Amino acid sequence: MQPSNRGVILISICAWLLLMPRSTHGLLEALNLENRHEIVTKIIGGDDVPVGAYPWFTRLSWSGCGGTLISKEFVLTAAHCMDNTKYGVFQVGALCRDDDENCAQKMEEFSARLIYVHPSYTPELLQHDVALIRLNGESSITPAKIDLEGLADSFESGKSLWPIGFGVLEYGTKFQPNHLQHVEVEYVSNDVCTESFVGSDFEEIFQAESMMCAASAGKDACFKDSGGPLYDYNNDIVVGVVSWGIGCAHPDYPGVYARISSSVSCVE
């Protein structure tokens, strides 16, 4: 995919499930959290995003989840962000929540025309935790490139990546920033990530085929960051979708992201 074609990506839904609407039980209820360690649908330790850095970032106004504009009509987010039947406004280009001028960055608002959830997604296991939203109009904002060729498969431990979102700034609180945040974390290899969950209640949930991990001391995605992008700055490409984690910035457990290259192969 050439950068010059980013505004005219064609979408093929393939065999994806059409959600009109979805009525499955919520993620947290499905995971029976009262009998487990706390898992969060997860920016801790981050900074304000400069104007124009991620014009394609999308905020799901009713849930606080994030998303990524990947064509003029489609937004990519987490499937578990769509685990209800009430949907609001998709704010493409969101940068400042409580500023009518959006901190001088262009923003466009849309409702959903159609919602497609990956057919292999289940709230119990969180595999292929991705959904595509077809907007009720066409955005004039330049979309992001996403990893359809498996670039993330070549990553080595320690590679710099950036989760982006409006999630809480401190674990255990409900305070969300008014300004979009990003934070630099490091890629964690599949082997190391798999090993980190061995012996925990979540050993059976992490699957390297459809998930990837990233972590740095005191830095992580957190509550309300779900669905947002995991961005590779050096290659100017989104490689993952914020999915889940145990706590936020937990020293023993990395953050987990849906691996785009294995979950969104239908996008052409």
The average pLDDT across 144-167 equals 96
Q: Both tokens of residue 78?
A: 């987490």
pLDDT of residue 173: 75
| 85 shares its domain with 180 | no
Residue 193: pLDDT band with limits 50, 70, 90: very high
Which residues are designated catalytic? 80, 129, 226
Can you give the pTM of this predicted structure? 0.84
- CATH number for the domain spanning 80: value is 2.40.10.10
Q: How many C-beta atoms lie closer than 10 Å to residue 170's C-beta?
A: 13
Does pLDDT of 88 surpass 70?
yes
Instruction: Please indicate, yes or no, if residue 7 is contained in any of the structural domains.
Output: no
Domain carrying residue 61: 54-135
The average pLDDT across 245-255 equals 93
Q: In whole angstroms, what is the distance from residue 128 CA to residue 94 CA?
A: 25
| 158 shares its domain with 231 | yes
Q: In whole angstroms, what is the distance from residue 212 CA to residue 166 CA?
A: 21
Instruction: Please indicate, yes or no, if residue 234 is contained in any of the structural domains.
Output: yes
Give the end of a domain, one of 72, 106, 135.
135
Does pLDDT of 9 surpass 50?
no
Instruction: Please indicate, yes or no, if residue 162 is contained in any of the structural domains.
Output: yes
pLDDT above 70 coverage of the chain, percent:
82
